[in-house]
Structure 1
């Protein structure tokens, strides 16, 4: 436990042994594992070390934090099912050793309800409080949906911050637990390059005081946030809470007073950043960690009149189709919440959706703006939902524009060395006369 965090009441129930945990888990055919720092590393190691305890097991998870034998398909009796690829599952999926299930992030709880009869949920939590509740800490995601609906097996970790929101589980809802302390995984801030700053300037100048933001990770979101510190009354309603939000909060830019939902609260469904962010959310009543089927529901997002969503893509075609989860036609990640927020801002009264990308790849040898997407690419944001597209060369608003107009707008923000070639291809396609 961090020495500056308050000590909670001791747990008045005997912790389980590794053998106990294995016995409990072996009774189930579906294990749902929390994502990112909600992952119970010690418990998952037990599964990896004792695969023979299971006959026909499926493990369901997004965004795993560690490579494991069961992820790589080493055990024929255990199948790993991913809903968002990371560096550990990417190759396993491409070689057929794990499954990938397409999904919209906000629909994950319902999808797991349908796919996992009688599951057990495995996650890590903060220590118990004086009322007998554990906090899921950095996680809400799909895990919080199962509180009171499925048994939990938890790893109690003194490094996990205690957070507020709908992410608390009572000791009576826990089938088994084990105490194991280990520091949380940290995500260092991505450096801001000149190209990130150029893109960010186009976005930031279109964000008004009082806007509610959804921001992700990477150089461009970090650059955008760095330009918003003098804004006032910003709100946060985002799937992933990052260090950038901490920076805006400490700068006094975030009050949430203009929000229509969860006024004056910073809302997220999971938290991933550095230790200073984990310290910030610990016992912070301004921060609410909620289930993803609420946070990412487009109907909830749309209730914020001035909702702004900032996301990224790997390439876009003349139609406005954004391929954000494949690279060169090979699967890299998954949909995540991009479509959730892309749809939500379209229904919001003054919603704005920004999708950012560098104009080129591979040292300026490939244009990311293309006449047609690379074969085998997967469309994440459809041509019907796209709004603003931003590169280092400018910004194009595609919403409400014809295919012909979109083509011209996109060519204008492409890298100059590719504009002539793109114009030639557009004429061949009949998109430019």
Structure 2
């Protein structure tokens, strides 16, 4: 098989076309560092081939992002050293088996760290759409950090999936050489909708009071963000600038609630780094001129977020202490979250004109035995500093912490803790305020 022509993607994008057998050993060397598209955009045909051919290829390393497939198993650590920026998706089981190392990273810096070689990348594996209306392939449902990886890599291998929707990301690939290409026709991975209970509805009802008409929203995925979006049908001209877009936004677009008409940046467009949800969401993204997928270096960049007037960042956490420190990474002795985009969006919101940052979480675990409002974060990392705290919301109310003293914060946080835990928190709080 011949190597791709260095003329690059901007011309004919010469490459080997592999339709049946994928001999990755012709491209991947022992000792190589591999980066592939994360989440539901994982190029499954390529990652499955990598696993099946691992003994021929030899020992490698890979930076994997979030995973939602079962391709990687703990026993593969004998040939593949894995790292990621968090324990989301199925990563937590790999971490538990000591088969994955976590690198604490802000999403905004991942692309730059790949470009600089801090996160090495010899081989980039992409999943692309078929040729679109401009006659080019696109990155489909995920832009994240793969362009930086592909430009850094010695070899770029692409899976062109007939079921990947074309999105307006083809221009990012200008000048990129793809050295080998395989065709597939398989459904994209999906993320099931979260179950919304009474607690999530109560939290959402309180959180939505901070969302004004024309606000620009950033929300993650899960029951609380979905519940919040489900309560915004009476708002007008909302905008979206976020790291990940789920299904719950689609209905608000159809209702004319999300118009992006008054965004001070990317007016008229939903901006996100990836689509993560169902086939319905992916079809929503297909050739949608009102949707702009952008890399983390854009979506999470402070200089972009702070330009968005009334930017409202809504994020979750595992626990928050009485002074406003946030742990979004560690629960019950396990690494299950990430630094991710939390700090990027919190700080961007606080710098934006009219911006707000909301941390929304249930006050306890499901059985109410463990409070998620804690006196001090002791058993996990501090993901977000107390100096960045703005509003914390539980089903018991909202604590506005910005500009408040430690004593004032402590009283406000105890007031939104579960009643069963307030007396204990009161006792423990004396360490902070006495």
TM-score by length of 1: 0.91
Q: Give a deviation string over 1:241-294, Cα, whole Å, max 9, x none.
A: 111111210110111121111111100001101111111110000000001111
Matches within 5 A, 1:13-24: 15-16=17-18, 17-24=20-27
**Aligned Cα root-mean-square deviation (Å):** 2.2
Between the aligned partners of 1:302 and 1:128, the Cα distance in structure 2 is 35
Map of 1:125 onto structure 2: 128
Shift of 1:167: 6.2
Matches within 5 A, 1:288-327: 288-327=292-331
Is 1:398 the equivalent of 2:401?
yes
- Of the candidates 139, 147, 161, which is equivalent to residue 136 of structure 1? 139
Q: Residue 433 of structure 2: SS of its match in structure 1? A: coil
Is 1:183 the equivalent of 2:187?
yes
| Maintained 8 Å contact 1:139/1:269 | yes
Shift of 1:223: 1.3
Map of 1:409 onto structure 2: 412
| Maintained 8 Å contact 1:166/1:290 | no
Between the aligned partners of 1:148 and 1:51, the Cα distance in structure 2 is 24
Is 1:26 the equivalent of 2:34?
no
Between the aligned partners of 1:220 and 1:128, the Cα distance in structure 2 is 37
Shift of 1:18: 3.0
**Closer, same or farther in 2 for the Cα pair 1:383/1:166, shift >3 Å?**
farther
Map of 1:343 onto structure 2: 347
Between the aligned partners of 1:118 and 1:424, the Cα distance in structure 2 is 51
Shift of 1:328: 2.5
| Maintained 8 Å contact 1:28/1:118 | no
Q: Give a deviation string over 1:68-109, Cα, whole Å, max 9, x none.
A: 35x525353421112222353313223322211110011111
| Maintained 8 Å contact 1:109/1:145 | yes
Is 1:260 the equivalent of 2:264?
yes
Map of 2:74 onto structure 1: 72
Shift of 1:329: 3.8
Matches within 5 A, 1:10-409: 15-16=17-18, 17-26=20-29, 29-69=32-72, 71-113=73-115, 114-117=117-120, 119-129=122-132, 132-146=135-149, 148-150=151-153, 151-165=155-169, 168-169=172-173, 173-373=177-377, 375-409=378-412
Between the aligned partners of 1:389 and 1:159, the Cα distance in structure 2 is 41
Shift of 1:117: 4.7
**Closer, same or farther in 2 for the Cα pair 1:183/1:425, shift >3 Å?**
same
Structure 1: which 5+ residue stretches go unaligned? 1-9
Map of 2:4 onto structure 1: none
Between the aligned partners of 2:15 and 2:375, the Cα distance in structure 1 is 63
Q: Give a deviation string over 1:343-368, Cα, whole Å, max 9, x none.
A: 10111111101101111115111111
Q: Give a deviation string over 1:127-175, Cα, whole Å, max 9, x none.
A: 1246552111101001133454544211110111101146653696211
Between the aligned partners of 2:320 and 2:15, the Cα distance in structure 1 is 55
TM-score by length of 2: 0.91
Between the aligned partners of 1:309 and 1:75, the Cα distance in structure 2 is 37
Q: Residue 324 of structure 2: SS of its match in structure 1? A: coil
Question: What is the number of residues matched between the two proteins?
Answer: 420
Larger CA deviation: 418-427 vs 347-356: 418-427
Between the aligned partners of 2:357 and 2:88, the Cα distance in structure 1 is 25
**Closer, same or farther in 2 for the Cα pair 1:163/1:41, shift >3 Å?**
same
Between the aligned partners of 1:19 and 1:275, the Cα distance in structure 2 is 27
Q: Residue 27 of structure 2: SS of its match in structure 1? A: helix
Between the aligned partners of 1:266 and 1:388, the Cα distance in structure 2 is 25
Structure 2: which 5+ residue stretches go unaligned? 1-11
Shift of 1:29: 0.8
**Closer, same or farther in 2 for the Cα pair 1:227/1:165, shift >3 Å?**
same
Between the aligned partners of 2:121 and 2:247, the Cα distance in structure 1 is 37
Map of 2:422 onto structure 1: 419
**Closer, same or farther in 2 for the Cα pair 1:38/1:28, shift >3 Å?**
farther
Between the aligned partners of 1:407 and 1:390, the Cα distance in structure 2 is 14
